[in-house]
């Protein structure tokens, strides 16, 4: 199958990609390896040409899975991964030094079973290291043929501009959905100005806008249990707005996930969402968003649903928020 395409930097990719984190990391019990491999292959069969992984996901297990499952179809997709966040000696590590970046990249190439990653991101900003040094390490990796393009994740407009002065940035990745709009403060506009693709992760708000979160009875190992707006009184409050969003989706004849993805796609031609899933059924549902038309009236109604006060609670706990460089709103709740 062929899907509509969008450009991120010099890369041409399917308008909806696949975030691979879910099948190895962050949401509790992992699927069977055979099911995860089948999901990745089904994504390619359906025309998805952007697969997104990272060294952090499953302490390298996700990269191994991608390489094992679809490495034989390497010419069919754009491969992206990330460094700076890694697992070292069993512990999560944030290290943007050139030496750490080079080590993580070399390990990733082995795990992925390839000698080239098409787009390689700095996963987070290490404030102890000048961003120019971290980007410089990726420039050298590109010169060596190990990567093709350079990306940034959860970084501010100022950081993006400084990095872009060192070397053209192809893509910036930030959480973005009808609920999480920090990218609209400055990053999306900066990306459009500089010709940078904007890759939206968690475009269905970690399942909140896909019918996947209706209570906070999370299984062990589910990162949502650590996200303040996704548990307790905040979640109970937030589900009121989510219920209105669900009703709007039903009214126009699509699922909430499809409406959320269609909303993200409507925000700019340089924007590519990368929803993650463990389910082939949900994968197919997500791609159906490409057929959903969001009119100005629908966009206005979504703005009303998620207007001031509709969503309570920080999106990250304090330790995680400390690693986020993306701008925050003046009235945003922070842990």
Which residues are part of the catalytic machinery?
A: 57
Listed in sequence order, the residues at least 6 apart from 239 whose beta carbon sits closer than 8 Å to its beta carbon are: 214
Q: What angle do CA 222, 328, 265 make, to 5 degrees?
A: 70
- 55 near 81, Cβ under 8 Å? yes
Whether 101 contacts 137, CB under 8 Å: yes
How would DSSP label each residue in 231-263? SHHHHHHHHHHHHHHHHHHHHHTS-HHHHHHHH
Q: How far apart are CA 322 and CA 326, in angstroms?
A: 11
* E strand or H helix at 201: strand 197-201
| Residue among 264, 93, 287 at smallest CA distance from 175 | 264
Q: d(Cα 68, Cα 77) in Å, to the nearest integer?
A: 14
């Amino acid at each position: 199958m062929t899907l509509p395409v969008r450009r991120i930097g010099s890369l041409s990719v399917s308008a909806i990609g696949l975030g691979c984190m879910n099948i190895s990391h962050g949401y509790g019990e992992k699927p069977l390896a055979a099911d995860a491999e089948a999901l990745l292959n089904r994504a390619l069969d359906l025309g998805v040409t952007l697969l997104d992984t990272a060294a952090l996901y499953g302490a390298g297990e996700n990269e191994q899975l991608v390489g094992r499952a679809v490495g034989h179809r390497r010419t069919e997709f754009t491969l992206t991964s990330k460094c700076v966040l890694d697992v070292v000696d069993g512990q999560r590590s944030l290290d943007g030094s050139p030496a750490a970046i080079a080590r993580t990249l070399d390990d990733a190439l082995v795990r992925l079973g390839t000698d080239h990653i098409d787009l390689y991101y700095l996963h987070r900003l290490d404030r102890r290291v000048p961003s120019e040094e971290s980007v410089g390490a990726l420039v050298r990796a590109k010169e060596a043929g190990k990567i093709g393009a350079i990306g940034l994740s959860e970084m501010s407009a100022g950081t993006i501009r400084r990095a872009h002065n060192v070397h053209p940035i192809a893509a910036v990745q930030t959480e973005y959905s009808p609920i999480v709009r920090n990218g609209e403060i400055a990053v999306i506009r900066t990306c459009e100005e500089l010709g940078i693709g904007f890759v939206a992760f968690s475009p269905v708000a970690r399942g909140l806008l896909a019918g996947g979160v209706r209570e906070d009875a999370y299984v062990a190992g589910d990162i949502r249990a650590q996200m303040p707006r996704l548990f307790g009184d905040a979640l109970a409050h937030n589900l009121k707005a989510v219920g209105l969003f669900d009703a709007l989706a039903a009214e126009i004849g699509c699922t909430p996930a499809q409406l959320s993805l269609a909303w993200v796609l409507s925000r700019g031609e340089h924007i590519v969402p990368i929803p993650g899933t463990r389910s082939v059924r949900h994968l197919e549902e997500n791609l159906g968003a490409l057929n959903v038309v969001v009119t100005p009236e629908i966009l206005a109604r979504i703005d009303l649903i998620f207007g001031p006060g509709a969503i309570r609670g920080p999106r990250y706990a304090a330790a995680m928020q400390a690693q986020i460089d993306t701008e925050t709103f003046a009235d945003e709740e922070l842990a």
